[in-house]
């Protein structure tokens, strides 16, 4: 009889560790993990599999594969799952919080400086340069995801239709939203399978659309912001850069709480700080607390922390709740078909949003300089695999000199 692969809740293959050990490692990782989810995962593998031997490589790969089947930030969920394996429920909380906290502490003062001094001419040039680089970084992410997610004519069709739907969202001609597009893609993938799945599986597979109702509840601004970030954290599939499409649609196009430039700046801050890209929500929450939610340090900080808690809460809940069922999900043809279709849709969402952001970043009188920054950044990522942190720093320097 074949061995059962380890699940997210299987503690048998790992030795117990102290909470202090878990906290020290993930705090250090949170302060030094630059370069995005792929870099974070590589660092955890090197440190926890090869050096500290918390678990073997096959168990690590099983965890990573399982996490790809659930929504949320992959590297953060992996940190949470590893903390649970090492220290149980308390280890799960300690690992996740220690991985997220450093970026939050770094972003809060950056956000304060931004809302108070971003109108200075020197800073404006830096932000224009960084904004152009961020557009290229998002485009590169879409291209790299497309190489693995768009595998056949069906995937190409889903990508194109998703891009068209996102264009309608940006034009405010369609109220279905990003979540509706992903749900339709999942349903289309399910309908292509001939697997005799039970009715309750169908219900679970298409249970995402009701989450969209969270965004339609008539409540005060800060509460609605929290609900929107909860929705994002609970439905983020395929790439962390889907966050950009959610923010653009929900906060810029539909409610006009942010500008596209502020969205670009938020993503840039998320890129240049260590830890999860989703701590971009900390910056967005702070900016929203400053305006339009009233201003003042208490409101700004409160909104920043509330946005951060909301976007990461689903990751903790999912890792705590899924247990051994994740292994059955991984081997389910309907789940595989739905996930493949959703990943193809994600490519379309990111590509459409990238076009709108490019239009914002390419503005006279320095349009050609912005185009040059985009082209150079895209080439450096795709051809040379340069770390995005260095590219953003270079773009900031070019912006300071040429885009003032």
SS3 392: helix
Query: So where are the chain's domains?
Result: 19-98, 106-402
pLDDT at 161: 92
Exposed e or buried b for every residue in 18-42, given b needs 16+ CB within 10 A? Answer: ebebbbebbbebbbebbebbebbbe
Mean pLDDT by 10 residues, the chain (404 residues): 48 64 95 82 89 87 79 90 91 96 95 83 79 87 84 92 85 66 86 61 42 48 92 80 86 90 89 89 96 89 96 92 65 79 86 86 88 94 84 89 82
What pLDDT, on a 0 to 100 scale, did the predictor assign at position 328?
Answer: 67
CB 82 within 8 A of CB 22: no
Question: Residue 206's CB: how many other CB atoms inside 10 A?
Answer: 15
102, 30 Cβ separation under 8 angstroms: yes
Strand intervals (E) in 206-359: none
pLDDT at 19: 92
Q: Where are the alpha helices (DSSP H) in 221-296?
A: 221-235, 242-247, 260-272, 280-290
pLDDT of residue 306: 96
Q: Are 310 and 281 in contact (CB under 8 A)?
A: yes
pLDDT of residue 396: 87
Cβ(233)–Cβ(72) below 8 Å: yes
pLDDT at position 213, please?
45
Helix, strand, coil percentages in the chain from 3-state DSSP, rounded to 5: 75, 0, 25
CA atoms within 13 A on the CB side of 84: 22
Residue 172 burial by Cβ neighbours in a 10 Å radius (0-12, 13-18, 19+): exposed
pLDDT at residue number 180 = 81
């Amino acid at each position: 009889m074949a061995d059962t692969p380890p699940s997210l809740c299987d503690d048998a293959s790992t030795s117990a560790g102290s909470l202090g050990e878990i906290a020290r490692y993930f705090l250090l990782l949170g302060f030094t993990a630059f370069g995005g989810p792929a870099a974070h995962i590589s660092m955890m593998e090197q440190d926890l599999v090869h050096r500290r031997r918390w678990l073997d490589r096959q168990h690590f790969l099983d965890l990573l594969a399982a996490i790809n089947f659930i929504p949320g930030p992959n590297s953060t969920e992996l940190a949470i799952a590893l903390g649970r394996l090492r220290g149980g429920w308390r280890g799960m909380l300690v690992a996740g919080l220690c991985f997220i906290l450093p970026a939050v502490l770094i972003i809060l003062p950056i956000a304060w400086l931004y809302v108070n001094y971003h109108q200075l001419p020197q800073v404006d040039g830096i932000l224009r340069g960084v904004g152009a680089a961020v557009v290229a970084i998002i485009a590169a992410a879409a291209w790299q995801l497309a190489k693995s997610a768009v595998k056949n004519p069906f995937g190409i069709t889903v990508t194109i239709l998703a891009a068209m739907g996102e264009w309608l969202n940006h034009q405010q001609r369609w109220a279905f939203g990003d979540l509706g597009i992903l749900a339709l893609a999942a349903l289309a993938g399910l309908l292509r399978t001939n697997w005799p799945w039970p009715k309750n599986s169908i219900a679970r597979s298409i249970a995402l659309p009701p989450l969209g109702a969270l965004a339609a509840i008539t409540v005060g601004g800060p509460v609605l912001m929290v609900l929107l970030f909860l929705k994002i954290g609970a439905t983020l599939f395929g790439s962390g850069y889907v966050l950009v499409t959610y923010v653009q649609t929900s906060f810029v196009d539909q409610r006009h709480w942010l500008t596209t430039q502020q969205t670009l700046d938020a993503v840039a801050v998320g890129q240049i700080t260590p830890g999860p890209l989703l701590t971009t929500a900390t910056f967005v929450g702070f900016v929203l607390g400053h305006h339009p939610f009233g201003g003042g340090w208490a409101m700004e900080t409160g909104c920043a922390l509330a946005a951060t808690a909301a976007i990461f809460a689903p990751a903790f809940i999912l890792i705590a709740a899924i247990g051994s069922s994740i292994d059955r999900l991984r081997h389910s043809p309907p789940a595989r078909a739905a996930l493949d279709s959703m990943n193809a849709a994600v490519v379309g969402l990111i590509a459409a949003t990238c076009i709108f952001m490019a239009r914002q970043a390419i503005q006279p009188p320095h349009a050609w300089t912005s185009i040059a920054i985009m082209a150079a950044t895209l080439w450096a990522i795709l051809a040379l695999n340069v770390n995005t942190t260095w590219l953003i720093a270079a773009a900031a320097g070019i912006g300071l000199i040429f885009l003032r």
